[in-house]
Structure 1
Amino acid sequence: MESPADVKELIPEFFYFPEFLQNINGFDLGSLQMTQNNVTDVLLPQWALSREDFIRKHRKALECEHVSSHLHEWIDLIFGCKQRGEEAVEALNVFYYCTYEGAVDLDAIANETERKALEGIISNFGQTPCQLLKEPHPPRMSSENASRRQARMDTLPPNLFEQLDKLRPFKEVKRGIILLYFIRIRKNQNRSFIIQGSDVLVTVSSNGLIGTHSWLPYDKSIANYFTFTKDPTVANPKTQRFLSGLFAPGVDLSTQVLVVSNDGRLLFSGGHWDCSLRVTQLGKGKLVGRICRHIDVVTCLALDLCGIYLISGSRDTSCIVWQVLQQGEFSSGLSPRPVQVLCGHDQEVTCVAISTELDMAVSGSKDGTLIIHSVRRGQFLRTLRPPGESCLPARVTGLQVGMEGHIVAQTALEGHTAGKEKYSLHVYSVNGCLLSSVSLEEEVTALYLVPEYIILGTRQGNLHIRDLYSLALAVSLPLKVAVRSVSVTRESSHILVGLQDGKLIVVGAGKPQEVRSGQFSRRLWGSTRRISQVSSGETEYNPTETSGK
């Protein structure tokens, strides 16, 4: 490794696959010459806490500012102007002549022995890539310059998770929404909604009342600016929209049984008395689909990030993967036949999660297990059993899958007396390795994953943000009222929290500048209009010890 003639590059596994550092199969790799110790797993440096930590830090190093600022130099050496010629000599970037493209025409060599010898030399020394550039590659823009350019843009808000020390909660809705159970910021833009360029925030109350409110994106002219426009149909008895049908006994109307499609048009709901999975059109509040495939009540639903597949879990211990159809393909919004039927649990399925990109469907159950299947083939992959203090299984009460395949699960172990349950939080890698576990003092009622962090809302009325890998507590905000739902805007500029008493709390970074008149101008549809409902950031949320826990 120290010889200048020895040229090596790290294989891709150094940046994403920690399992290759472990001798899982127990192969006999011999012993060390000096100590005679058996060669087994790769020894990690002292700065790495585990194999997963080693790979994560390696990936961070690859993506750091120093590497980015020198990336053009590597391109010049491998593909650019320093691959050949005098500049290659000055850069000590010269290799054996047979390795260069076009240096040897093997087809023109008549002597078979000579041709095989050259093929062996090329195979041994390798081959340099094609030279793509004859001029030096320009350097990449530094993160500091990129930040300055972004700061001049009106439409790009600051990332909330880069300013965790400045979090502030702001109250937006005082009354009118009876009980906020579900919040969702739609990912796709659609001009048919209230304001062009706005997002839609979906709420469902304790009585099944549906609201589709307008959320106007960030404007840099006012710090923490946000505008929430309440759905006018919520207050008018003649235009109110409700979820149809009765819910089964023991089923709480919560985010576990409610999912909104990515285009913001359909609401999927479970928990109905007839064991059906129902589809409601949000625009009219009309029931457009009712599918019965489970033989018991649907207890949980989850939609993948792309909006392609929906997974449902039931008291019958099974899970079903459905394909979400585009508008007009099928009246119910779901494929009439299941894509996969997944089994394996011994008791009721309590929570599910799905990732199409990683081809994994995860389900948690009262039997204390997490089972992972593939989505496309329905193959069983592995079973995870979260650790606990007791030999009795702790039921899985919450589940989320991150973009890189991290599995986050909450478990609850019943105590000897009522109300003395013990809660724990666990995070696994995509390959089922337990990365961290922590005991919780509170019951988590809302769980949301973002890159690098986990957002937890608790029944005791607190909002916690924890590190995704170590589960260390980063920020805690007291809201004093039980949290029912948590969502993050697509720009990661605000956290939206629904409370038990019907309030919508918007968490932003920093304290907004004051607006004297309470109004300001903004261009909509090419003309200037007045918007009177400015960020309630002017009304900072200062909770008191109230009921509703």
Structure 2
Amino acid sequence: MAKASLARDVAAVARGETLSCLWEREDRGGHFDLADRMFNSVREAWLSASKHNMADVKELIPEFFYLPEFLVNSNNFELGCKQNGVQLGDIVLPPWAKGDPREFIRVHRMALECDYVSQHIHEWIDLIFGYKQYGPPAVDATNVFHHLFYEGNVDIYNIDDPLKKNATIGFINNFGQIPKQLFKKPHPAKKISQRSSVVDPGPITPGLSFTTGDRLFFHNLDNLRPSLQPIKELKGPVGQIMQSDKSVLAVEQNKVLVPPTFNKYVAWGFADHSLRIGLYDSDKAILVCEAIMQSNGEIVTCVCPSVKLIITAGTSSVVTIWEYVRKQLNIKQSLYGHTDAVTCLACSPAYNVVVSGSRDATAIVWDLSRRIFVRQLRGHTAPIAAVAINELTGDIATCAGTWLHLWSINGEELASVNTCVGRADRMQQILCVAFSQIQEWDSQNVVMTGSTDGVVRMWSVDYVQVPKEDRQVVKEGVDTKENGVRNLVKQISISADFPGKDTASLVKSGSESSLSEDEGETTTEVESTQEEKIEGKKEIERAQEEKEMCSDEDTNQVNVHIL
């Protein structure tokens, strides 16, 4: 049975910068706990709690299901050395995680959502909050603890002896407290309907399935068909599409809808360089602000995180946060970081961040609450045309030229792929990008891109294990060695593409691409069977050079295929 304990929770996530400070300064008098008592290995923690030490009680805090960063000592904190000589650093993961914290979190979350857990969740409720918390049922279930752990057994405010009072408080803080009992009778089991599995039956993800009614569009790519009639007709090119309840809303270019009701829009790009707010139904402007050009240049892009905040950016390279109160627009903060015009913006209210993409080939993550710079995403080979943020996972997608990049919210590049197909002189540029984000643990989620060739493509991110061995890379006639290849290969492969109404069917180029990550560096391998791609323009060759593209002599390659 788990007991709520601040000390145990903070100890588990002590590798995070903020919580490490809390642990070091407040809980341990200026230093970390003894190395032998620190959380260091998933296997050792499991064996200690389940077999070797029955007095050891562990709690799976929420970070185990969504935050891979807490498993990595990215700040290189001095956590100490154990008695057996092992220096503490990153958490030692089980073999099925393939040495990758994100894979550990992904599979762990999938296990949490599986049918087996749903069928037995009532047993856990009985132990933690139910009838097995007290009395003979608790004794039969080996679920008893020290009397100080139970709510109401001690009143610390009535302890007169200060030494005894402090000792009691410290005892509870370090070893935890039993939650309040909510149920006196056995909790009923969850009803599990007949399910049909829609995920690959891999050995590390058995039993994960969804109901037939839960099947989503990316589970049925072969059945997707365009609508016979337009669902919305606009006066100009489409700028934003938004689903609200059971309807689909859309506005023209240089317009964005205002949440949460989406009955208003913000518009820009007028001859007088004004910023306007209008009604969605009547298209009538209710506010015109003409003071924009004076200090912020020409607006190129805009997002609305809330009904009171508007964020604009453009030719001045400055990201401006506006506050809309009492039918007036006032500048709340100007953010400086780009060296060229800002071309695109994306905002995540869930993570309270804004991402800006620029012609300087960088993207910047900004903290919306503190309105400060967080980090810069580099490595693009062209101006950034589109950015998107996954509201569930915090992952960030950036698009530059024909390249699609996927980043974690902490700036780690997870994968990248060149979406170019066909001849090199007919490359399609990516114009927009979006995430499917219904169930974050669903491995079949896709990243969708729209390109200048009128085709919508869906991309899936896969995790593939490759051997740990030296491999020979042949690049432009020069032999080089890549040592210490990491266990996990992250790749983006195409799931499906959907040509536009007036676009001819996509011709496969026979190209194959995969992405592999070595110790701190990502390499992309592309095999092409067409001479047109080999004889591409110099600009494309430079982009391929920066992405460290290599020939088909590398053995670890994954096809770009249509499912």
TM-score tier, shorter chain, comes to: 0.5 to 0.7
- Paired residues for 1:421-460 under 5 Å: 423-441=402-420, 442-451=428-437, 452-460=445-453
Cα separation, partners in 2 of 1:108 and 1:172, compared to 1, 3 Å = closer
TM-score (norm 1): 0.63
* Contact 1:81 1:136 (C-alpha < 8 Å) held by counterparts: yes
Cα separation, partners in 2 of 1:425 and 1:307, compared to 1, 3 Å = farther
Query: 1:105 Cα deviation (Å)?
Result: 5.3
Correspondence for 1:466 among 459, 473, 478: 459
Query: 1:319 Cα deviation (Å)?
Result: 1.5
Query: 1:9 Cα deviation (Å)?
Result: 1.4
Deviations 1:100-145 (A, max 9, x none): 2333456677777766666665555432222221111222332548
Report the secondary structure of 1:339's partner residue.
strand
- Paired residues for 1:191-210 under 5 Å: 199=247, 201-204=249-252
The one-letter amino acid paired with 1:471 is: I
Query: 1:435 Cα deviation (Å)?
Result: 1.4
**In the alignment, what sits opposite 1:350?**
343
* Contact 2:407 2:415 (C-alpha < 8 Å) held by counterparts: yes
Structure 2 residues not aligned, in runs of 5+: 1-47, 198-209, 421-427, 438-444, 463-490, 505-563
Query: When the two structures are aligned, how many residues end up with a matched partner?
Result: 394
**In the alignment, what sits opposite 1:407?**
396
Query: 1:23 Cα deviation (Å)?
Result: 1.9
1:159 aligns with 2:206: no
Correspondence for 2:181 among 131, 134, 141: 131
Cα separation, partners in 2 of 1:351 and 1:468, compared to 1, 3 Å = farther
* Contact 1:258 1:268 (C-alpha < 8 Å) held by counterparts: yes
* Contact 1:200 1:264 (C-alpha < 8 Å) held by counterparts: no
Query: 1:431 Cα deviation (Å)?
Result: 1.7
**In the alignment, what sits opposite 1:44?**
93
- Paired residues for 1:435-514 under 5 Å: 435-441=414-420, 442-451=428-437, 452-467=445-460, 470-479=491-500, 481=502
Deviations 1:217-267 (A, max 9, x none): xxxxxxxxxxxxxxxxxxxxxxxxxxxxxxxxxxxxx3xx22123434333
Query: 1:32 Cα deviation (Å)?
Result: 6.2
Question: Whole-Å Cα distance in 2 between the matches of residues 74 and 281 of structure 1?
Answer: 51
CA RMSD of aligned residues (A): 3.5
Query: 1:355 Cα deviation (Å)?
Result: 2.0
Query: 1:269 Cα deviation (Å)?
Result: 2.1
Question: Whole-Å Cα distance in 2 between the matches of residues 476 and 282 of structure 1?
Answer: 32
* Contact 1:464 1:476 (C-alpha < 8 Å) held by counterparts: yes
The one-letter amino acid paired with 2:221 is: L
Query: 1:397 Cα deviation (Å)?
Result: 0.8
**In the alignment, what sits opposite 2:258?**
261
* Contact 2:129 2:180 (C-alpha < 8 Å) held by counterparts: yes
**In the alignment, what sits opposite 1:270?**
268
Cα separation, partners in 2 of 1:359 and 1:115, compared to 1, 3 Å = closer
Query: 1:93 Cα deviation (Å)?
Result: 0.9
TM-score (norm 2): 0.62
Deviations 1:277-298 (A, max 9, x none): 2233343333333223244221
Query: 1:17 Cα deviation (Å)?
Result: 2.3
The one-letter amino acid paired with 1:184 is: I
Report the secondary structure of 1:302's partner residue.
strand
The one-letter amino acid paired with 1:394 is: A
The one-letter amino acid paired with 2:400 is: T
* Contact 1:319 1:341 (C-alpha < 8 Å) held by counterparts: yes
Deviations 1:181-232 (A, max 9, x none): 24534526xxxxxxxxx6364354xxxxxxxxxxxxxxxxxxxxxxxxxxxx
Question: Whole-Å Cα distance in 1 between the matches of residues 257 and 80 of structure 2?
Answer: 56
Question: Whole-Å Cα distance in 1 between the matches of residues 234 and 172 of structure 2?
Answer: 72
The one-letter amino acid paired with 2:188 is: P
- Paired residues for 1:166-181 under 5 Å: 166-173=223-230, 180-181=237-238
Question: Whole-Å Cα distance in 2 between the matches of residues 120 and 203 of structure 1?
Answer: 59
- Paired residues for 1:334-373 under 5 Å: 335-373=328-366
**In the alignment, what sits opposite 2:311?**
311
Query: 1:40 Cα deviation (Å)?
Result: 2.5
- Percent identity between matched residues is 34
Question: Whole-Å Cα distance in 2 between the matches of residues 446 and 349 of structure 1?
Answer: 15
Question: Whole-Å Cα distance in 1 between the matches of residues 447 and 214 of structure 2?
Answer: 21
* Contact 1:303 1:309 (C-alpha < 8 Å) held by counterparts: yes
The one-letter amino acid paired with 1:432 is: G
Cα separation, partners in 2 of 1:33 and 1:136, compared to 1, 3 Å = same
Question: Whole-Å Cα distance in 2 between the matches of residues 362 and 439 of structure 1?
Answer: 22
* Contact 2:387 2:432 (C-alpha < 8 Å) held by counterparts: no
Report the secondary structure of 1:336's partner residue.
strand
Question: Whole-Å Cα distance in 2 between the matches of residues 9 and 37 of structure 1?
Answer: 24
The one-letter amino acid paired with 1:16 is: Y
Question: Whole-Å Cα distance in 1 between the matches of residues 81 and 283 of structure 2?
Answer: 70
Cα separation, partners in 2 of 1:89 and 1:277, compared to 1, 3 Å = same
**In the alignment, what sits opposite 1:63?**
113
**In the alignment, what sits opposite 1:320?**
320
Question: Whole-Å Cα distance in 2 between the matches of residues 120 and 358 of structure 1?
Answer: 34
Query: 1:336 Cα deviation (Å)?
Result: 1.7
* Contact 1:272 1:297 (C-alpha < 8 Å) held by counterparts: no
Query: 1:173 Cα deviation (Å)?
Result: 3.9
Question: Whole-Å Cα distance in 1 between the matches of residues 211 and 109 of structure 2?
Answer: 27
Cα separation, partners in 2 of 1:282 and 1:107, compared to 1, 3 Å = closer
Question: Whole-Å Cα distance in 1 between the matches of residues 354 and 159 of structure 2?
Answer: 56
Query: 1:346 Cα deviation (Å)?
Result: 0.6
**In the alignment, what sits opposite 2:302?**
301
Question: Whole-Å Cα distance in 2 between the matches of residues 429 and 467 of structure 1?
Answer: 15
Q: Which of the pair has the greater relative contact order for Cα pairs under 8 Å at 6+ separation?
A: 1
